[in-house]
Chain A
Amino acid sequence: MTSNPYRQQNPYKGASPRCWIRLRFVAADGSLHERELVADTGSPCAVILGQPDLALLLRSAAAGMNSNFGRLTGAWLELAMPELGLSTLVVGYGSDQVLQAVLRDSIDFAGVAGLPLLRMVEYGGDFTSFWVQEAPAAP
């Protein structure tokens, strides 16, 4: 008998309904912090947060880059989502301009989770909600 994998299922949310995921990060002092991020396959960055969150959660600085939203500050961030198979370090970015863009949809949103992160899980959606679950093991 096989058990169904954990699935995080989130009803679309926001002034213009957006799909989103909840991610848990480990700060350098070991504290855990959950954030709701717009799930956006159009973003080539794994994670983009506001600058205050990036400063709170960074484990080390990482290379930054420019974008159509201005300068993105880089940081190594640790994810703690074992239920989704995401217990890993990723390069994330800080941008208050991106944060302002997602806040216009909902004050709950703290940033954007982009394609490099979404590729690490299985994701999908229907008329009412968006879901993510652990990706099956590679063949």
Chain B
Amino acid sequence: MPDADTEYERNSAAYSRLKETIARTYPHGWFVGIADEHIIGAAADFRGLESLLRTQGIDPRRVLVVQAGVDYPEYVTIFSSRRP
């Protein structure tokens, strides 16, 4: 079983590849789950997806959840906190 960091990075890379497909396939704002680099479920709200994953025996904490059609920034600047 991959460690959580590796799993997260793999699912994040999968999201980058699947982003446009997700936007075309699901209504805007739907919650889409990605695990093992694949889409494993979707629902209109977060709790619906969480329930769906649990009924499939999947721990939601190991799933990357994104909203269809939402643009997540790739870089942000945190202005007023001081760097260590």
Which residues of chain A have a CB within 8 Å of any CB of chain B? 28, 38, 40-45, 48, 55, 58-69, 72-74, 76, 89, 97-98, 100-102, 104, 112, 114
Q: Which residues of chain B come closer than 8 Å to A58, judged between CB atoms?
A: 61
**How far apart sit A64 and B80, CA to CA, in the bound complex (Å)?**
20
* B37 proximal to A (CB < 8 A): no
**Interface size range of chain B in the complex:** 20 to 34
**How far apart sit A102 and B80, CA to CA, in the bound complex (Å)?**
11
Q: Which of B60-82 contact A (CB under 8 A)?
A: 60-66, 72-82
Q: Which residues of chain B come closer than 8 Å to A66, judged between CB atoms?
A: 74-76
| Given A44-B76, A60-B60, A63-B64, CB of A112 within 8 Å of CB of B81 | yes
**How far apart sit A104 and B82, CA to CA, in the bound complex (Å)?**
9
| Given A59-B60, A61-B63, A73-B8, CB of A42 within 8 Å of CB of B76 | no
Q: Which of B29-84 contact A (CB under 8 A)?
A: 33, 46, 49-50, 60-66, 72-84
**Min CB gap B77→A, angstroms:** 5
The answer to whether A65 touches B74 (Cβ under 8 A) is yes
**Min CB gap B64→A, angstroms:** 4
- A40 to B, closest residue via Cβ: B80
Q: Which residues of chain B come closer than 8 Å to A68, judged between CB atoms?
A: 77-78, 83
Q: Which residues of chain A come closer than 8 Å to B83, judged between CB atoms?
A: 68-69, 97, 101
